[in-house]
A = this chain, B = another copy of it.
Amino acid sequence: MTSRISFELNATDGKARTGVINTPRGEIRTPAFMPVGTAATVKAMMPESVRSTGADILLGNTYHLMLRPTAERIDRLGGLHKFMNWERPILTDSGGFQVMSLAGLRKLTEKGVTFKSHIDGSKHELTPERSMEIQKLLGSDIVMCFDECPALPADRDRIAESMRLSMRWAERSKEAFGDRPGHALFGIVQGGLEKDFREESANALREIGFDGYAVGGLAVGEGQEAMFDCLDYAPDMLPVDKPRYLMGVGKPDDIVGAVKRGIDMMDCVLPSRSGRTGQAFTRKGVVNIKNARHADDPRQLDAACTCPACSNYSRAYLHHVFRSNEMISGMLLTWHNLQYFQDIMDGMRNAIAAGTFEAWEKDFHEGRAQGDIEPL
């Protein structure tokens, strides 16, 4: 335990890195996958179950929490950690991305953005200063700069304009964040798929100086190839001694490809959202448990997995409870998916430390290429 947040890089293998972010609330082993606890809960999971999968840190959403139950209420109740019974580190996003994707009628100015709540239509404002205030009220350990993120594709002018606004907001975020020992502020590189803009954005952020750096504005519809092209250069523009966070990513092979390119942290709703819709990620690819082929199948979902869904139940049971709309379906498949994602992270951390990342990655892709076990 430490009173300041620091990052130790323990090993690299190619561009892939492994290390530890030390925080007063515990260690975050990197590369780290952060399950998403949107509205102060990782959907369908008890927090102790999330922890049991190996998660060191959760992500909370500023946009959702500011609308309900509100940041002020969470502050009065002792902060987000206590509220949701998760004592380990929490990273909060800035709200900018959800304003773009969820809110109604928004108005963007130099000052910030006004928008209507998707829950009740009420009017709200987010600015860099207000986002910092909300994330402080929540008690977030890792705070994200408030930024604006255009949907791709967009023309170069729009991307440049948006990126430069985000850089001015990054400066205001840093100013508003102030000096908060034990809490970190991360800047967010923007610039779409334009290398020169990414360079300009990274330089602007390094000039301001942050505890970590996120690559933003990806995984918004550009496809894996375009994302990897960007990740071939974007992490190299960032300081080697600070954590690098790729926001909103992704599928298992996205995650592996990002780590290979020098990313240390990621988050995504995919394992929990897919779990609730009957989709499981396994070492042999994706399994749709609602498929009739599983109805009589006594075998495990993923024979190499240690989660409760794989240890205690057959595919036939998982199929039955999904078809019956039973809550345990979402509970078990979410648990499995989160376990699998954490197992991937654990595998990569060990492989990078051992200098065997390339072999690990080959195994990973070969397993998934096999496809699911044959029907009985």
* Interface residue ranges, A against B (CB under 8 Å): 39-41, 43-46, 68-69, 73, 76-78, 83-85, 295-296, 298, 308, 312-314, 316-317, 319-321, 323-324, 326-328, 330-331
Contacts and interface: CB of A to CB of B under 8 A. Distances in A.
A316 B41 contact: no
A83 B296 contact: no
B298 A328 contact: no
Contacts of A326: 39, 41, 43
B69 A320 contact: yes
A314 B80 CA distance: 12
19 contacts: A39-B320, A39-B321, A40-B317, A41-B321, A41-B326, A41-B327, A41-B328, A43-B326, A43-B328, A46-B328, A68-B320, A69-B295, A69-B316, A69-B320, A83-B317, A327-B327, A327-B330, A327-B331, A331-B331
Nearest to A64: B324
A296 B43 contact: no
B320 A40 contact: yes
A78 B296 CA distance: 11
B328 A45 contact: yes
A168 B43 CA distance: 51
A321 B77 contact: no
B68 A314 contact: no
B68 A316 contact: no
Contacts of A319: 69
Nearest to A313: B85
A109 B295 CA distance: 34
One complex includes copies of this chain to the number of: 2
Contact of A78 (B43, B77, B298): B298
Contact of A83 (B39, B73, B314): B314
B296 A76 contact: yes
Nearest to A315: B77
Contact of A316 (B83, B308, B323, B328): B83
A274 B198 CA distance: 53
A119 to B, nearest CB: 9
Given A323-B68, A331-B46, A331-B327, A77 B314 contact: yes
A276 to B, nearest CB: 8
Contacts of A69: 295, 316, 319-320
Contacts of A41: 321, 326-328
Nearest to A69: B320
Nearest to A85: B312
A268 to B, nearest CB: 19
A44 B317 contact: no
Contact of A44 (B83, B298, B327): B327
Closest CB pairs A-B (n = 3) = A85-B312, A69-B320, A44-B327
A277 to B, nearest CB: 13
Nearest to A73: B296
Contacts of A317: 40, 77, 83-85
A321 B83 CA distance: 11
A370 to B, nearest CB: 25
A73 B78 CA distance: 50
A324 B77 contact: no
Contacts of A84: 317
A305 to B, nearest CB: 15
A223 to B, nearest CB: 32
A227 B43 CA distance: 41
A312 to B, nearest CB: 4
